[in-house]
A and B are shown apart, each in its own frame.
Chain A
Amino acid sequence: MDTVFFWLLSAVAIVASLLVIAQRNPMYSVLLVIVSFGALAGLYVLLDASFVAVTQIIIYAGAIMVLFLFVVMLLNVPTEDPPTGYHARLLGGAGPRRAGAALSVALLLELFWALTRMGDGPSLGDKDMGAAVSSVRAIGLRLFDVQGYAFAFEATSVLILVAMIGAIVLARRESK
């Protein structure tokens, strides 16, 4: 049963991600990214990481993607312009973009090659291991432990504050 779910969810994630970069309308792209993230949340549940799955849905699909949607609606640029003019031909022409696509295919092939060299690889662990990983209590104890990630957690708050102030300063209208 889990196997069927895994292949179903990974197919949804891959197809949705492919459609994201095939769309010309950014609105559809954002909605398809939410579909892809939902499929990934299902994969996290299969990996006994239910808390990460919930966080993924609430924060990624719920907050970050809504931010994207707001910007898409605010800017009101429905579709991508076809390339025109000198700069479009110079930078956005077929040559550099084809090279970029070839580079990403090369990256995919290299990653596949590296993974096939790994052989069978380690297993995903047994049921007991899954129970150890799925405990929210264990995550909290490790996250707020001084020997663990307490410092990184506090540093994160500074990062969020800087991002908040930066976003306000950047998006503010210049007052003369």
Chain B
Amino acid sequence: MLPAPTLNTYLLLSAVLFSIGTAGVFLRRNLITILLSVEIMLNAVNLTFVAVGRSLGTVDGQIIVFFVITVAAAEAAVGLAIVIALFRHRESLNPDDFTSLKW
């Protein structure tokens, strides 16, 4: 029989998802996939907020999740605009191609 989930189980799941997100940021060479990995990391943090809020019996965790979702929306909008501008400039999504600022 599977063990019933506790707060620790949720935190472990969140840790696994966050690490998958960081691995994606490190391993992929495509700006869109990197942005998606950042979204996965943000969602792992959201899960932590909701689980801890449930454990403490307050709604504050859920409210902070709304703010995180708002920030994620703003980040996605600006990030994708930058991706479009870069693609127009270099015809590429590979971050290794954007080395103008590198000395």
In the complex, how many residue pairs between chain A and chain B have their CB atoms under 8 Å apart?
A: 253
Contact call A49/B93, Cβ cutoff below 8 A:
no
Binary CB contact string for chain B from 52 to 88 against chain A (1 if under 8 A, 0 otherwise):
0111111110110111011111111110111111011
| Size band of the interface chain A makes with B | 35 or more
Q: Mark B15-58, 1 if CB is under 8 A from A, else 0.
A: 11111111111111110110111011001001100110111111
B residues near A100, Cβ cutoff 8 Å: 23, 25-27
Q: Verify B7–A122 contact, CB threshold 8 A.
A: yes
Which B residues touch A92, using CB under 8 A?
Answer: 29, 94, 96
Asked if B36 and A103 sit within 8 Å, CB to CB, the answer is no
Q: Are B27 and A21 in contact (CB under 8 A)?
A: yes
A68/B76 contact (C-beta < 8 A), A29-B32, A40-B47, A139-B62 known: yes
| In contact, A6 and B62 (Cβ under 8 angstroms) | no
**Which of B6, B13, B67, B74 meets A152, CB within 8 Å?**
B67
A125 contacts the other chain (CB 8 A): yes
8 Å CB interface, A127-176 against B: 129-130, 132-133, 135, 138-139, 142-143, 148-149, 152, 156, 159-160, 162-164, 166-168, 170-171, 173
B interface residue count range (under 10 / 10 to 19 / 20 to 34 / 35 or more): 35 or more
Contact B28 A80 (CB under 8 A): yes
Most buried by A among B2, B6, B63, B87: B63
- Interface residue from A23, A49, A101, A115 paired with B8 (Cβ < 8 Å): A115
Contact assessment for B77 and A163 in the assembled complex, using a CB-CB cutoff below 8 Å: yes
Residues of chain A within 8 A (CB-CB) of B58 are 133
Q: What's the minimum C-beta distance from A154 to chain B, rounded to whole angstroms?
A: 12
B76 close to A67 (CB less than 8 A) = yes
Contact pick for A59, options B4, B10, B40, B69, CB 8 Å: B69
> Does the CB pair B80–A167 fall under 8 Å?
yes
- A and B contact pairs by CB, cutoff 8 A, 8 listed: A33-B39, A56-B69, A59-B69, A103-B22, A107-B18, A133-B57, A138-B59, A149-B67
Q: Which residues of chain A have a CB within 8 Å of any CB of chain B? A: 2-4, 6-7, 10, 13-14, 17-18, 20-21, 23, 26, 29-30, 33, 36-37, 40, 43-44, 46-49, 51-52, 55-56, 59-60, 63-64, 67-68, 71-72, 74-75, 77, 80-81, 83, 87-88, 91-92, 97, 100-101, 103-105, 107-108, 111-112, 115, 118, 120-125, 129-130, 132-133, 135, 138-139, 142-143, 148-149, 152, 156, 159-160, 162-164, 166-168, 170-171, 173
Q: List the 3 closest pairs (A to B, CB-CB), nearest first.
A: A100-B26, A163-B74, A21-B24
